[in-house]
Amino acid sequence: MRLRHPLLAALVILVLGGLLSLVLADYRLRLLNVSVISAIAVIGFNFAFGLAGLISLGSAAFVGFGAYSLAILTTAAGWSPWLAMIVAIVVTTLFATIIGTPLLRLKGHYLALATLGLNVSFTIVATNWIGLTGGTNGISNIPGLSLAGFAFDDERRFLWLALLFLAVCAAIAIALQHSRHGRAMMAVRDDETAARMIGIDVTRVKIAALCLSAAFAGLAGVLFATHMRFVAPEDFNYAHSIVYLAMLIVGGEGSVAGAIIGAVLLTFLPEWLRFLGDAYLAFFGLMLLLILIFLPTGLIGLATRVRDLAKKTAKRSTP
């Protein structure tokens, strides 16, 4: 399942998702929408973490920044959601540049804790700047998206739109990952000093990775806002950043397919565990821990290992 070709990946997403949209019932469709939106954020986060190796625990703040920007522009300023969408993504990316430039001098767990602090600060501001954000009540009555009279107003229709965005994002991400820029990011991740030696502008690459992840997170945020039609601070607290990170690790870091699989799996997993009643979250934590211990390279890594093993066995049987 290592999709390297951008167009092929987009096609697979559209066909698979489209088929699912026809067979699933309403509640499952809602979950699928949530996982598609998360997948966009996680694909973005993969630039920062999977490729450039930046341990950021603040991606939910960028998603929230996008969602709140759209919510405020459409409700308080009365903008069209499409225009607000573009502006929200641009504003989120700018915000990431301004915040990221000083923070990206930090490394490893320093960066992790700084971005965690950033995410907590975002929640505090969203909760307390009541005049702008509505405080804990959040912002409701966010208008939905529609195109030429076709309103994406139920779960199935929204899914078609979300899948389209996901397909485009995945294609862009795969193309970038296998380009010069993607390789530069990986070089920075693997050895910063060596990367600098061969003439890579490390700071610029890091900021580019963060901006890309913020742009994807911003898109996820505006989709979230137009899907839920409501935003509130707790939707973007730091626990969500950790879930995004967990999605990427469970799926397989450094891979777009892994990001999507992780997002879908971790969105549906709590639902599959509903039969456990109140114990399901404790069980969810346990599953996560077991995956980390026994599948350190994620599900994509497992697939690769199985394929390599199969190849080896095939070689051995045909001398």
Partner 1 sequence: MADFIQLFVNGLALGSVYALAALGFVIVYSATGVVNFAAGQFVMLGTFSGVAMMVNLGLPWPIGYGAALLAMVAFGMLFFTLVYLPLRASPVVTVIIGTVAVGIILQNAALLGFGSWPFRLTSPLEGVTLDIAGAVITAHAALTVVVTAVLVGLIWLLFYRTALGIGMRAVAQDMEAARLMGLNVNLLLALTWVLAAVLAGIAGLLLGPMWFADVNMGDPIALKAFAATIIGGFGSLPGAIAGGLIVGLTELLGASYISSAYKDLIAFVVMILFLLVRPQGVFGERIQDRG
Of 31, 242, 265, 273, the one binding partner 1 by CB under 8 A: 242
Distance in Å, CB of 318 to partner 1, minimum? 35
Residue 163's Cβ-count burial label (10 Å; 0-12, 13-18, 19+) is buried
Q: Which stretch binds partner 1 (CB under 8 A): 85-93, 152-160, 180-188, 277-285?
A: 277-285
Does position 263 bind partner 1 by CB under 8 A? Answer: no
Taking alpha carbons only, the member of 2, 35, 37 closest to residue 299 is: 2
Does position 136 bind partner 1 by CB under 8 A? Answer: no
Taking alpha carbons only, the member of 91, 90, 83, 88 closest to residue 145 is: 83
Alpha-carbon distance values, 130 to 72, 88, 124, 126, 139 (Å): 12, 20, 11, 7, 10
Q: Which stretch binds partner 1 (CB under 8 A): 29-37, 61-69, 108-116, 148-156?
A: 108-116
* Under 8 Å between Cβ of 255 and 3: no
Residue whose pair of structure tokens reads 């405080």 in the numeric block? 135
Taking alpha carbons only, the member of 169, 120, 117, 143 closest to residue 231 is: 143
Distance in Å, CB of 264 to partner 1, minimum? 18
Nearer to partner 1, 37 or 116 (CB): 116
Phi, psi of 153 (to 5 degrees): -105, -5
Residue whose pair of structure tokens reads 């870091």 in the numeric block? 253
Of 36, 73, 103, 232, the one binding partner 1 by CB under 8 A: 103
Does position 282 bind partner 1 by CB under 8 A? Answer: yes
Does position 98 bind partner 1 by CB under 8 A? Answer: no
Q: Which residues bind partner 1 (CB under 8 A)?
A: 49, 55, 102-103, 105-110, 112-114, 116-118, 120-121, 124-125, 127-128, 239, 242, 245-246, 249, 278-279, 281-282, 284-286, 288-289, 292-293, 296
